[in-house]
Amino acid sequence: MEELPVECSCCNNCKKYKKRILVTGGAGFIGSHTVILLVTRYPDYYIVNLDKLDYCASVKNLESIKGKSNYKFIQGDICEPDFMRYVFQEERIDTVLHFAAESQVDMSFIYSLDFTRTNIYGSHVLVNAAYEARVEKFIHVSTDEVYGGSSTEVLKEKSNYKPTNPYAASKAAAECMVRSYWESFKFPVIITRSNNVYGPHQYPRSVIPKFISLLDRDKKCCIHGSGDSIRNFLYVTDVAEAFDTILHKGEPGEIYNIGTDFNLSILGLAKYLIKKLKGITTEEGMQRYLDFGEDRPFNDYRYIMDSSKIANLGWQPRVTWEQGIENTVLWYRENFYNWTHAEESLEAFPTKTTTMPKLL
């Protein structure tokens, strides 16, 4: 039987929850799926979702949990130390899941200082406020990109950092800052590094929703360079499950890769989607929907991760590519305009005239 939270004696309107979890960046892509999972699966946990509502966030991502008694949304910026201290005290937070970030590699070639501010400085502000508040578990969400992607090495958690773009460098630096609180103070930090994630709620500048949305408008898939870089793709609800696993079974001071063996080249992805959405099977027919443009200043080739450490905690990806991509295609047909500036995301590359637009 579901155990309900009991009323506490400290005030009239708060309830005693087993955990009080702060999720940062929970109006974004992966954060929103994780917030929904935690709020619905654990009515005895209190979830505070703190998000700045940047251009890639959407409050529509959270409609399914609106009004739930164990959920609270706060609009705010992790880069503000006094405000963050206040949130930890006021909400009596004991656990943190830190997703908030500037997350788009292509934007980092133009707006790199924003990446340093949010990803490095913001993570420092947050971990410091969490440390002062004596939080019991701090899960810092990082990426496979910190390894760099130009080798054929199988990447284990102990492999070296070799970031090659400002986004990846800011994430690697953030990891170092957060990890220093474990090394110096034994503050219980856990770091995760995941492969590329896809699925509903993702701002459509990322490659999968971008190609789907371009093809649905009868436009060409814009490929950076030759399209031979390879990415491993994880469905977003599998990743939310990975965070549930880490939350309950992850060990302080540890790093966990969250990966999948499923991979495609970017050109292979475009061809898969052209076949699925346009019914075209010939090489000649496919060319009509392929547009090879300028490459990124540096484009990582691939990241082959060993994820046996999290597999030993009982997690593995379960959603098949066919099922995941079907859900994603259907979702974008209904929800593309959840972001005010969604059309802008379909440009081949952001440019200096691409705004860092705010949600209106």
Q: Kindly state the smallest distance separating residue 292's Cβ from ligand NAD, in Å.
A: 23
Phi, psi of 9 (to 5 degrees): -100, -5
Is the CB of 88 or the CB of 289 nearer to ligand NAD?
Answer: 88
| CA–CA gap between residue 21 and residue 59 (Å, rounded) | 19
Q: Catalytic: 144?
A: yes
Q: Which of 123, 133, 238 is nearest to 191 (CA)?
A: 123
Binding site for ligand NAD (CB under 6 A): 24-25, 27-31, 51-54, 56-57, 77-79, 99-101, 103, 118, 122, 141, 143, 171, 194, 196-197, 203
Rounded CA-CA distance 360/352 in Å is 21
Q: How far is the CB of 160 from ligand NAD (least distance, A)?
A: 18
Residue 15 has, within 13 A of its CA and on its CB side, a CA count of 14
List CB contacts of 198: < 8 A, sequence separation 6 or more: 206, 208, 209, 233, 234, 235, 236, 324, 325, 328
Quick one: 220 or 350, whose CB is closer to ligand NAD? 350
Smallest separation (angstroms) from ligand NAD to the CB of 185? 23
- By beta-carbon proximity to ligand NAD, the closer residue of 101 and 329 is 101
If you write DSSP's letter for every residue of 124-137 in order, what string do you get? HHHHHHHHHTT-SE
Residue 75 or 226: the one with the smaller Cβ distance to ligand NAD is 75
Task: From 61, 28, 53, 100, select the one nearest 360 (Cα to Cα).
Answer: 53
The least distance separating ligand NAD from the CB of residue 278, rounded to whole angstroms, comes to 25
Identify the burial level of 128 via C-beta atoms within 10 angstroms of its C-beta, where 0-12 means exposed, 13-18 middle and 19 or more buried.
Answer: middle
Catalytic residue among 51, 144, 157, 238: 144
Nearest residue to the partner ligand NAD, using Cβ: 28
Catalytically annotated residue among 46, 167, 235, 256: 167
Nearer to ligand NAD, 141 or 214 (CB): 141
| Least distance from ligand NAD to the Cβ atom of residue 297, Å | 19
End-to-end Cα spacing for the chain: 43
Q: Which position among 145, 238, 241, 300 bears the catalytic label? A: 145
**Any idea which residues carry the catalytic annotation?**
144-145, 167
